[in-house]
Amino acid sequence: MLTLHFTPNTCSLATIIAMEEAGAPYALRFVDFATAGQRAPAHLAINPKGRVPALVTPQGVLTETPALLAFVAQSFPGAALAPLDDAFSFARVQEFNAYLCATVHVAHAHRMRGHRWVDDQAAIEAMRRKVPQSVSDAFALIEEGMLAGPWVMGETYSICDPYLFTLAQWLEADGVDLARLPRVVEHRRRMAARPAVQRALAAERAAVAAA
């Protein structure tokens, strides 16, 4: 059994979708950011970073979405969520997910978490104003050169797709012009229609309601 400590509207969703796609047995534990649950001693004992997601496995705790997605793909190879038998192709999957983690998600975070990088309020506001451009530029690179279509890696669905879908949920709030990203928007629509995505979103809602 896997247990994912999560918060809705975060990158946690990508791992939930992947576990649904894989048919993995899992449970969800809601971390309430509204009450600073991510800083509570009980959560810090699981993830000292004070972030989500954190995946509790029989072998130990894993954090960082690219690592969680790779773990799910490798733990359930029958789901074919990554090209595990091709080192170069698997590296391309990791390359894409690393870009989402290190560049796209960070650009998004500047909108409401500038305090992670600077203390000066004027600098925080400047970072926030930059978000529409920085996130747009990052997604333009995906639109024009990374999204092979119909899925990220081409004809085969992979762990890249739930991660891209999750971050693409935030485009409107980040002030991005969706007209510039027709292929990303179509990918988002295609993902939203997948039963595993619908089950993942329902599982999130149920876990929050039960908390």
Domains of the chain: 2-80+196-210 (3.40.30.10), 87-194 (1.20.1050.10)
> Per residue in 103-157, pLDDT tens?
999 999 999 999 999 999 999 999 999 999 999 999 999 999 999 999 999 999 9
Please tell me the number of Cα atoms within 13 Å of 192 on its side-chain side.
9
pLDDT of residue 90: 98
Task: Report residue 12 CA to chain centroid gap.
Answer: 6
> Per residue in 36-65, pLDDT tens?
999 999 999 999 999 999 999 999 999 999
SS3 state of residue 27? strand
| CA separation for the pair 211, 206 (Å, rounded) | 9
CA-CA-CA-CA dihedral for 118, 123, 129, 132, to nearest 10: -30
Q: Are 126 and 111 in contact (CB under 8 A)?
A: no
> Per residue in 147-162, pLDDT tens?
999 999 999 999 999 9
Q: Are 79 and 44 in contact (CB under 8 A)?
A: no
| CA separation for the pair 154, 53 (Å, rounded) | 27
What percent of the chain clears pLDDT 70, i.e. is strictly above it? 100
